[in-house]
Chains A and B, each alone.
Chain A
Amino acid sequence: MRPAPFEYYAPTSVEDALRLLEEKEGAKLLAGGQSLLALMKLRLLAPPALIDLNRIGGLRYVREDGNGWISIGAMTLYDELEQSPLIRTRYPAMHEALYRLGDQQVRNRGTIGGSLAHADPSANLPPVMVALKAQLVAARRGGERRTIPADEFFLDAFTTALEPDREMLVEVRLPPWPPGSGGTYMKLSKREIDFSIVEVAAQMSVDGDGRVKESRVVLGSVATRPYRATAAENVLSGSVVDDALAAKAAEAGTKDLEPPSDVQASSWYRKEVAKVLVKRAILRAWKRARGVEQ
C-alpha cells in the first residue's frame, strides 16, 4: 500500500498548475485525492508526478451570481457543499447526492472538481450535474476559459472532455431552475458508504397544473458515463405525474439499458432496480416541484 515513486509539485496558481501539467509528462492533478491516492497505493496508477492543487487560492467557494446562477469553485469540499444552504434549498438533488457520498472522512477531503474530472461512472455527482444542466469551466494557460455543458463533459469511464495535459476544471456553474422546480437524488447500495449499484438524479419543472414542462432523468452506475433517460423524459413531458405515469416513464427510460455486472450486482439486477429508482425519483421530484413534499 505504498505508491511508486513520484515527483510532487505544489503550485500556487492555476497558471503554474497548467504549466506543470503541460511540462511534466504523465503528471496528474491532485485535488482531494480520495480516488487518486487509493489507486496509486494499489499501484494501479503510477504517475511520475503529482501536481497538488490544494495550495492554489480562490478555488473554494459557493456563490450566487447576479443572474441566478450558482458558481462553485472546483476545489470546494463535498462537506462544504453539503453544508451550503444555497445548495440545499436550490438543488436538493445535489444536496442528497452529497449527503450520501462516501463517509464523513471522504467528504472532508474530496472535492467537486476532483470527482467530476475523475469521471467514475459510479460517482454520485456526475448524474446530478447532467440533470441540473450544469456548465463546467475548463481553464487553459494564458487565462483562457472554456465552458462545457455537463451533457458533453462525460465521454466514457474515467474520460472527460477536458483536453489531456492542457486543461483543468476550475469551476462548476449551476443554472437557475424556474419556480415550480424540484429534484431528487436516489442511490441504491448495500452499505451507505458504497458506490451505488444504481443511482438516479431527477430534476423537473412543472406548470401551475402540475404538468411537466421540462425534466431530466439521469442514471449513474449503469453505463460508462451518466445515462440520460430521454425516453422517460419524453413520457413525462406535458403530463401530470402519478404512479402509473412514473412507472411508464421508468419502463421506457430503462428499456435500452445494458448495465455492467460486478461482484455487487448483475446486469439484470441493475436494470431491475434502475426501473424502480427512476420511478421513485420521478415521483419525488415531481412532488417537490409541486411543493407538496420536502
Chain B
Amino acid sequence: MSKASPEIISTYKQDSSALTLKWLGKPLKPKEDYRLVRGRGMFVDDVQLPRMAYAAFARSPYAHAKIKGIDVSRAASVPGVLLIWTGEDLKKRMRPLPQATPPPARNAIDYPLAVDKVRFQGEPVAMVVAESRYAAEDAASQIDVDYEPLPVVVDAEKALEPGAPLVHDEVGTNLIAHVHYKWGDVDYYFQHADMVVEGKFHYHRFTGAPLEPNAVVADYDERADIMTVYCNNQAPMEWLPQLSAGLNMPYPKVRVVTRDIGGGFGTKLVNYVYMVLASLASKELRRPVKYVETRTENLQAAAHNAERTCYVSAAVQRDGTVLAIRMKCLDDDGAYARHEPAGMTVWAQVSTGMYRIRALENDFYAVFTNKCPSTSIRGFSRAPHLFMIERMMDRIARKLGMDPAEIRMRNLVRPEDMPYMTPSGGLYDSGNWPEGLRKALEAADYQGWRRKQEELRRQGRIIGIGVVVGSDSAGPNMAQVKMYNPGLPYTSGTEGALVQMTPDGKVRVTLGTSPQGMGHETTAAQVVADVLDVDYDDIYVQTGFDSFTSVYTMHSGTYGSRFAPLGLSAVYLAAARLKEKLAKISAYVLNCPGGDVVIEGGKAYCRADPQRSTDLKRIARIAYGNVNEMPPGMEPGLYSIAIFRPPFQNPDENKRANLALTYSYNVHVVVVEIDPETGMPRILNYVALEDSGRIVNPLVVDGQVHGAVAHGLAEALYEKYHYDENGNLLNSNFVDYLAPTALEVPSISVLHTETPSPFTPTGAKGMGEGGGTAVQAVISAVEDALAPLGGELEESHADPEVILRILKGTSS
C-alpha cells in the first residue's frame, strides 16, 4: 500500500537495450488478417484426413440424476457406427481426470463421460464414433439411458446449507475450497472509520461464445506410433500430461497442434476432455477421429463464467477516502472443478482495485452446483472482483453526495507511488492513473453530459453516466494456485520462443502460445523486426503451437493476457541473443576494428568504417554452410531459443505475492439513455481510455479494446444464462442466448496513454481482457440513471425488465 521498495523494483526491472524502436508502435498490417478475411484460416474443422471418423455425444437432459442403465443396442445397429463408449467403458481405459482441489473436494471423480450419475444438463453420457457425422448423431440420439432424477442444487448459498443435495457424494460436501484472506489491519480501520457502507452483489453467469466451438482431430499413426492431436485448446501444454498418461505414450510421441483458433475467451482451456476422448478412440480404431461441438453443446456444456456473490462492506472517511474493504464471496463453479477453483485466488491480482485501499479481508468459498463447470472467461475472477469494488465506489459516492469521478480521483493510486505495492503484495508496475481519468472525462465531455443529464431529466428523459477505472492484470504468477492448495507443484509463469535466421536470411519464429485471434504473429514479428532491425515482411511466425516444433514450458499457452508481458519477452530475449551472434559473426567476417559492428536495416557494418558492410543473408549462409568463415570455435547455425522467467515469488504465509507481471489500466466513460416506458437502455456515448504500456501495434490494441468493450457490453445488457430450479438451461442457442451483433455495439472512442512497463523488456503490458471494465461502466451508468429513484442494481446484468420494475417501483 505504498511505493514498492527499491530492492523489489530492481529484481523486476528489465533490460530493454536491444530495442531500436523502429518497428514497435507502428500500425503494420496484421500478418494473420489476410488469410482470415479471405476465409483461408486453418481451423480444426479444416483438417481432413483419409479414413477420418466422426464423434457425437449423447448428453444428459437432467441436471442431476442417477444412471441406472444405458442401452446402446439401438444405436449400435445404426449403419456406419464404429464405436460406442459409455462412462463404464472409459473407466477401463483411463484414470479419472486429476483434481487440483484440496481435500475433500479432491475425492471428486471426474471422467469425460459421466459414470454412475450425471451432474449437469448437457454432460456427455456416451460417445459414438461413426463413418459420418450424420450416422454418429443418428446413433447418439438412439442411446437409451435409464435415469433416476435426483434433487438439484443450482444456488451456491443453498448448496452449502446442511441437507443440500450433494453434487459429488464421495466429497461429502458441496464446498470445493475455502480460503480466508486478510491483508492489513482491517479490524482497526473498521473500528475507526467515519462510516461503513455495505452492499451485496451478484456477478452473473455467461460465457465467451467463440465463433468456433471446441473441436479436435486425433490422428493415431500406427507405424510411427505417434498420436497427433489437432485441437483448439488455449494451453495444450497444460493438458499434455493428462493426454500422455491417458494414452500411455511419452511426450515425444504425443504431438499437440493448434493452428488458427476462432476465439477462445477462456472457454477453450477446458476442452481437453474432448482431446482425451478423441485420442483414445483414434488409438482404439486406428483411424483419425474428429469431433466438432454444435453451438447448443458449446453454450450448454463447454464452459461458463463462475457466478460470484459477494457481501461487501467498506470502511470510509467522510472525505471519501476508502480505508478498508471486507467481503465474503461465493463462487458457483458448477458441477466439476476442471479449471476452478482458480477463480478464488486470481482476483487477488487486483485485490484493492486501482485504489490506495489500506486493508482488505475476503472470506472466500468455491462451491459445486448442478450447472455447467465454470472456467476462466475473459476478465477471469478479476472482472467480478473489480465489479464489487467499482459498485461500492458508486454507492459510497452517493452516500457522501460526491461525484463518482471525484471519489475515484481521490482514492486512485498516485503516479508518484509507482511502482505501487498493494496490501496483498501486488506490484503495480507503472502508469498515471489520475491523468488517465482526467483525460477520459475530458474526452467524454463528462461535465457537459452531467449538465445535459439535468436538463433532459426535466424533459422526462432518463440519462445515466458511468465512470469506471479498471485494471488488466496480465501475465499471471501461476503460484497463485498455492493459495487454495499449497501442495500444487506449479510456480512462476514462463514462456518460450524460438527465433531462427534461416540460411536465406529470413527469420522464422515459433511461439509457445496458442493465439485465438490476438495477433501474435504480427506483434511477435514486430518485436523481432525491431530488435534485429530487419524488414517485417522477412519475418515468418509459425501459426499456432506445435509441441514437436515450438519451444514450450508447462505454463505455455494463451490465457491471462500473458502474451505481451511473457510471450513477447521471450521473443525479445531470443531475438536479442540472435542479434549478438549475428554481430559477432559479422564483426569477424568484416574484420571490424575492435569487433565493433552495427546491425541495421538488414545489414551489418563496422561502426568505425560504415563502408565495410554486408547484408545479413551472407552472414546466414556462412553460419549454416560456409562455416569455416565463422569465428573459430563458434557453434554454427542461427538458432536462438529463450525462455522468459519473471522474478515471481510464491505467496508467503499470509498469501501475499505479486500475482501478475504487468497492470494495464483503462477508464471507461459511458452515457446511457433509458426508455422510461420500456426500461430499454441505449448507449449514447462510449469513451474507452487504455494504457497498455508500450503499444506494439495500435491496430491490434484497438481491436482488443473494441472486443473487450463489446464483450462487456454483451454481459451487462445481453448475455446471461438462465437456469430453472430443475437445472434446465433455458437458453442454449443463439436465439435465446443473446450474443450481440454489430447492430448492438455502439461506436467506441478509443484513447491511449502510453506508459511503458519497466518490468518487461519491450515495455508492453498485457491487455485485452478489459478487466471487465465495460460491464462495470454500463451497470454504473444504468444505476446512475436510476439513482434519483433510489434504484440500485445488485447484478452485473441489467435487464430492461429489472430496470422497468425500478422505474415503476414494483418488485418482481
Contact = CB atoms under 8 A, between A and B. Distances in A.
Whether A and B touch directly in their complex, counting CB atoms under 8 A apart, is answered as: yes
Interface SS of chain B: helix, strand, loop or mixed? loop
B60 to A, nearest CB: 16
Contact of A269 (B717, B743, B801): B801
Contacts of B752: none
Interface stretch (A76-84, A190-198, A283-291): A190-198
Interface residues of A, number: 24
Contact of B735 (A103, A188, A195, A273): A195
A261 to B, nearest CB: 10
B744 A192 contact: yes
The contact size tier of chain B is 20 to 34
Given A273-B677, A273-B678, A191 B738 contact: yes
Contact of A1 (B294, B680, B718, B722): B294
B718 A191 contact: yes
B286 interface: no
Interface stretch (B7-15, B130-138, B459-467): B130-138
Nearest to A272: B804
A191 B678 contact: no
A276 interface: yes
Contact of B741 (A193, A265, A272, A273): A193
A225 B731 CA distance: 23
B678 A103 contact: no
B99 interface: no
Contacts of B743: 191-193
A262 B728 CA distance: 13
B461 to A, nearest CB: 15
A191 B740 contact: yes
Interface string B331-352: 0000000000000000000000
B537 interface: no
B141 interface: yes
A27 to B, nearest CB: 19
Interface string A85-111: 000000000000000000100000000
Interface in A166-208: 188, 190-195
Contacts of B294: 1
Contact of B738 (A1, A194, A266, A276): A194
A42 interface: yes
A266 B738 CA distance: 16
B677 A276 contact: yes
Contacts of A4: 138, 141
Nearest to B717: A190
B295 interface: yes
Contacts of A244: none
A44 to B, nearest CB: 11
A264 B678 contact: no
A55 interface: no
Interface in A192-229: 192-195
A265 B801 contact: yes
A78 to B, nearest CB: 17
Contacts of B134: 2, 5
A188 B678 contact: yes
Contacts of B736: 262-264
A253 B774 CA distance: 40
B249 interface: no
Interface in B670-726: 677-678, 680, 717-718, 722
Interface of A: 1-2, 4-5, 42-43, 103, 188, 190-195, 262-266, 268-269, 272-273, 276
20 contacts: A1-B295, A1-B296, A2-B134, A2-B137, A42-B296, A190-B680, A190-B718, A191-B741, A191-B744, A192-B744, A193-B741, A262-B730, A263-B722, A263-B730, A266-B812, A268-B801, A269-B800, A272-B678, A272-B808, A273-B678
Interface of B: 133-134, 137-138, 141, 294-296, 677-678, 680, 717-718, 722, 730-731, 733, 735-736, 738, 740-741, 743-744, 800-801, 804, 808, 812
- Nearest 3 A-B pairs (CB), nearest first? A1-B294, A276-B677, A269-B801
